[in-house]
Structure 1
Amino acid sequence: MFRYTALAALCVVASSASAGELTARQGGTVDLGNFHGVVYYTEADDGYRVVTTMAAGEENLPVRFVATLTEGQAMVISVPGELAKPGQTLEISRAKGKLVVAKVESTQ
């Protein structure tokens, strides 16, 4: 129960940033099909520590992705589409000292 409460609380304080730049400790919401969640980052000695937490509805356990990105690096989270339909892909990249979150075209 605590996991759901923590995820819900983070969603409430997160701004809507499904595509765009984030600043440190500023959460943004993300949506990939049936999966919804938040992404935020903190600055660390070895790069930006990016945390993305997503779930497919309140009845399912959330999934957390964590990566440390240095300048020029990116991480991709993708959700497959239904049969014969494209999936959805989210790219989180670090460039010029900024963290950018964007949906990208998916071919799968």
Structure 2
Amino acid sequence: MCRYTVLAALCVTASSAFAGELEALQGESIDLGAYHGVVYYTEAGDDFRVVTTIAEGEAGSPVRFEVTLDEGRGLTISIPGRLDEPSQAVEISRTGGKLFVEGAEHAPQLVHAGK
């Protein structure tokens, strides 16, 4: 129950759909179709500890991603789309001593069984 309280508290302090620069300890909402969540970071020496928590709808169990980003590094979190639909993604990157979060749409990847 505590994990849901923490996610709800972060959502309350976060703004709606977001694309741009984040500041330390500033929670921001992200929207990946049916999945919604929050991303924030803390400073750990020269590194940024980035925490992203997402859940499918209100009933879905939350999933947390944690990563330590050095300067010039980044990550992408994506949710696959249905057949012939693009996946939804959020890109998180550290550049110039700042953290940036932006939505990204990826082309669908069709997988064909070969003989």
TM-score range relative to shorter protein: over 0.9
Q: Identity across aligned pairs (percent)?
A: 61
What SS class does the counterpart of residue 58 from structure 1 fall into? coil
Alpha-carbon separation, structure 2, partners of 1:54 and 1:74: 18
State the AA in 1 paired with 2:35: F
Alpha-carbon separation, structure 2, partners of 1:20 and 1:86: 22
Say if 2:53 is the partner of 1:53.
yes
Question: What is the Cα deviation at residue 16 of structure 1?
Answer: 3.3
2:65 corresponds to which residue?
65
Question: What is the Cα deviation at residue 76 of structure 1?
Answer: 0.5
State the AA in 2 paired with 1:91: E
Alpha-carbon separation, structure 2, partners of 1:98 and 1:46: 12
> Structure 2 stretches of 5 or more lacking a match?
109-115
Alpha-carbon separation, structure 1, partners of 2:9 and 2:59: 16
Larger radius of gyration: 2
Question: What is the Cα deviation at residue 105 of structure 1?
Answer: 2.6
Alpha-carbon separation, structure 2, partners of 1:9 and 1:25: 13
Alpha-carbon separation, structure 1, partners of 2:62 and 2:74: 22
What SS class does the counterpart of residue 106 from structure 2 fall into? coil
State the AA in 1 paired with 2:28: G
Alpha-carbon separation, structure 1, partners of 2:63 and 2:12: 18
Number of aligned residues: 108
Deviates more, 1:69-78 or 1:7-16: 7-16
1:44 corresponds to which residue?
44
TM-score w.r.t. length of structure 1: 0.94
State the AA in 1 paired with 2:9: A
- Trace 1:1-108 onto structure 2 (pairs within 5 A): 1-16=1-16, 18-108=18-108
Question: What is the Cα deviation at residue 82 of structure 1?
Answer: 1.1
Structure 1 runs (4+) greater than 4 angstroms displaced: none
Question: What is the Cα deviation at residue 46 of structure 1?
Answer: 4.7
TM-score w.r.t. length of structure 2: 0.89
Alpha-carbon separation, structure 1, partners of 2:8 and 2:95: 29
For the 8 Å contact 2:17–2:31, the answer to whether it is kept is no
